[in-house]
Chain A
Amino acid sequence: MNILVCIKQVPDDSVEVSMGKDGKPEIDGITPVVNAFDTYALEMATRLKESLNDGSEITALCVGPESAKNSLKNCLAVGADHAYLVNDESIDDIDSIGIAEVLKNAVEKLAEEKGKFDLIFTGKEATDAALGQTGIYLAAKLGTAVITNIIDVKVEDGSIEAKHETEEGYRVIEAAMPAVLTVTKPEYDPRYPTIKNKMAARRKQIDEMNISELSALDEITAKIKKAAEYEPPKRSAGIKIKEESDEESALKAIQMMVEAKVL
């Protein structure tokens, strides 16, 4: 099976971001990493590849800056067999629909040499700008099925069965291939690379595709304009309740909520 995993490089999301004087988030000093949901997508794809054990291959694809080659090498160390970067440093302003357009064109170009992709995995959203649009736009542009927020996937008789997470649990959804799957946090974490895979990935080349050859500039320039970005308001400190016993603490909490007319 031919599997594609689309990744985005984002600033490490555990670091608290503050706003710079120019009104933009200060992210220059923050370590760039693969978007967490994309790492789940790659792990899910790798587990699928291993379970199929039929010579299936995974290609990782990223639209991003030159430095994203390091993120792609990390993908090569944990399951991806090939990796491609579409360098977007020449484009100032691109939004989800523009990225999806570039990805669609890259998918079609890669299909010429690698054959069509049966499954395209990506994270349900990015942790830097959590819009959750790219995967869905990509499916629309490719004219394929899309199953969002999945936590597990199986392939049987040429079709897929995925668990789509809901607030109460999950729904099982079947679709024909090719399909786009957007992945949320499954029950497991992404694997650590072994030294052997890490060294092999370090030596591998990351192939580049030229963004201007893939898409015309006016097709991918952002349609959405960011008016301004704001820091979230600081949350005030909570109230600590520590009565003699747990029961008394619970009663006190209820009493306070009643007084505050929350209950």
Chain B
Amino acid sequence: MERISYNKVTNDIVELLKKACNGHVLTGDQINDDFCHDEMKIYGTAMPDVVVEAETTEEVSAVMKICNENKIPVTPSGARTDLAGGPVAKYGGVILSTIKMNKILSYDVDNLVVTIQPGVLLNDLAQDALSKGLMYPPDPGEKFATVGGNVSTNAGGMRAVKYGTTRDYVRAMTVVLPTGEVVHEGATVSKCSSGYGIKDIMIGSEGTLGIITELTLKLIVAPKATMSMIVPFPTLEEAISSVPKLFAAHLNPQALEFMEKDVVIDTEKLLGKEVYPKELDGVDINAYVLVTFDGNDQDELMDTIEAASEVVLEAGAVDVLVADTPQQLRDAWAIRSSLLESIEGNTKLLDECDVVVPITKIPEFLTYAKSLQEGHSYTIKDFGHAGDGNLHIYLCSNDDDKEAFMKESDDFMKKVYIKAVELGGLISGEHGIGSGKMDYLKDFVGPVNMRLMRGIKKVFDPNMILNPGKVCFDPEESYAD
């Protein structure tokens, strides 16, 4: 595959786009700075030539036809909360935003599904479903991401330990291919043995294969009650060692997170709340496990919490604090949900990785990652999903020298990815590859897998116009395939 170059967006093309999209086209000064980056500016910023805010599948199809015929790159965009550079228009051209496609279209309560447009925010879907006694289980930390974006990265979140990731909740979708063709994948059924799973290839493809314009998602009946326990430990090792024991005791937590003291202290300062104990009975606390169970009533949950407490106390917990009132649950989880915000607030330069390793390997991986900070200007902060081994590790620096930081970060990332793979893990659990992690993906999956991915992309996107420079394909590189 030769290096690919794209055409410029001319005034004539802008006029065609305006016609195709009922005038919902932004150019020049109308394009807000927010369209130049996602939440990880460190992976680069870029100004698109045009932003199209589509409202229907037909509009998306018309835009794609125009861009495909004219070889204009198109970058799909939702709420731009991505953490890997995915929605940045690296090669200019058109940003196709689905943010105005934000309607919850219909519920089929008997079949437990909801049909939505891709720009619906996760928070809005979750609240709306809950008002009907239903739950959309995927629960990534960023509640103001679009559900379309969640599907594109196969987002996971806190409840993945019990309910799985976004992939497990996508029943069907409408997709506009880069050629402008419209296809429907999947159906409102729970089984499928009907040819290649194109729906599943679309999930996690980070907007490189097609643009999702409608989604039918599986829901569950919302649990009637939830209860959490805050479990303080003297060390992270003891905290993590309790996790397999909880599963072995037939306990099935809805969420199971770990946190370390320093990040918790910063976050409590940010929120002006002190929830997590720092010292108990003369014992210094250094790590916490936060566990939530769901069930039919408080009594049943109290029995579960009692059983879980025996397990964690046996594993070295200093005590167990119970959160069973709405306020206590909100406060305990508000800290967990704001950890990243607090790290961002205290840091000038930030890079991150979200490796996933076998649960038992979490302490070994973190010890290794932290050992790398010695002699460097950065510090490591971390937290993560103890129940599924998905770790969020942040490289933080308050120096001003971005170039030096990026070099140090690259060296760090290479080492930790090698370690993650050596321990039986993967390089990204839920944030995706985008542009920021492309080189590492190449090292990790090897040339054959990269060729397969590019081959799949070529079938969907013959002119390679959709989200170039992401995941497996960069137009500036030439490939042997």
Chain A contact residues, CB within 8 Å of chain B: 12, 14-15, 31, 33-34, 36, 39, 70, 74, 77, 188-189, 192-196, 198-199, 202
Contacts and interface: CB of A to CB of B under 8 A. Distances in A.
Interface of B: 229-230, 273-275, 298, 302, 305-306, 309, 319-328, 330-332
Contacts of A202: 302
A194 B322 contact: yes
Contacts of B230: 192
A86 B183 CA distance: 65
B323 A192 contact: yes
Contacts of A31: 325-326
A43 B210 CA distance: 56
Given A14-B330, A33-B327, A198-B305, 17 more contacts: A15-B326, A31-B325, A34-B325, A70-B298, A189-B273, A189-B274, A189-B275, A189-B331, A192-B230, A192-B322, A194-B321, A195-B309, A195-B319, A195-B320, A198-B322, A198-B324, A202-B302
B326 A12 contact: yes
B223 to A, nearest CB: 13
A191 B331 CA distance: 11
The 9 closest A-B pairs by CB, nearest first: A192-B321, A195-B320, A195-B309, A12-B326, A198-B322, A193-B322, A194-B319, A33-B325, A31-B326
Nearest to A194: B319
Contacts of B332: 192
B319 A74 contact: no
A194 B321 CA distance: 4
A34 B320 CA distance: 22
Nearest to B309: A195
26 contacts: A14-B326, A14-B327, A14-B330, A15-B326, A31-B325, A33-B325, A34-B325, A70-B298, A74-B324, A74-B325, A188-B274, A189-B275, A192-B230, A192-B275, A192-B322, A192-B328, A193-B322, A194-B319, A194-B320, A194-B322, A195-B319, A195-B320, A195-B321, A196-B319, A198-B305, A202-B302
B207 to A, nearest CB: 27
A31 B327 CA distance: 11
A194 to B, nearest CB: 5
Most central of B275, B305, B319, B322 by chain A CB within 10 Å: B322
Nearest to A12: B326
Contacts, number: 51
A226 B302 CA distance: 39
Contacts of A77: 322
Contacts of B298: 70
A193 B229 CA distance: 10
A13 to B, nearest CB: 9
Most central of B273, B328, B332 by chain A CB within 10 Å: B328
B185 to A, nearest CB: 37
Contacts of A195: 229, 305-306, 309, 319-322
Given A188-B274, A189-B275, A36 B322 contact: no
A17 to B, nearest CB: 13
Contacts of B305: 195, 198
A34 B275 CA distance: 18
A25 B319 CA distance: 41
Contacts of B319: 194-196
A12 to B, nearest CB: 5
A198 B302 contact: yes
A34 B327 CA distance: 10
Contacts of B321: 192-195
Nearest to B325: A33
Contacts of B306: 195, 199
B351 to A, nearest CB: 27
A256 B227 CA distance: 48
Nearest to A188: B274
Contacts of B323: 192
Contacts of A196: 319
A35 to B, nearest CB: 11
Nearest to A197: B322
Contacts of B309: 195
A189 B331 CA distance: 10
Contacts of B324: 74, 198
A150 B273 CA distance: 20
A199 B310 CA distance: 12
A192 B277 CA distance: 10
Nearest to A70: B298
Given A188-B274, A194-B321, A195-B320, A33 B326 contact: yes
A199 B324 CA distance: 13
Nearest to B320: A195
A15 B274 CA distance: 23
A224 B324 CA distance: 35
Most central of A189, A193, A195, A202 by chain B CB within 10 Å: A195
A237 to B, nearest CB: 16
A188 B331 CA distance: 13
A39 B275 CA distance: 15
A199 B328 CA distance: 17
A189 B324 CA distance: 15
A118 B31 CA distance: 67
A46 B6 CA distance: 70
A31 B226 CA distance: 12
Contacts of A34: 325
Contacts of B275: 189, 192
Contacts of A39: 327
A249 B73 CA distance: 35
A140 to B, nearest CB: 31
A81 to B, nearest CB: 19
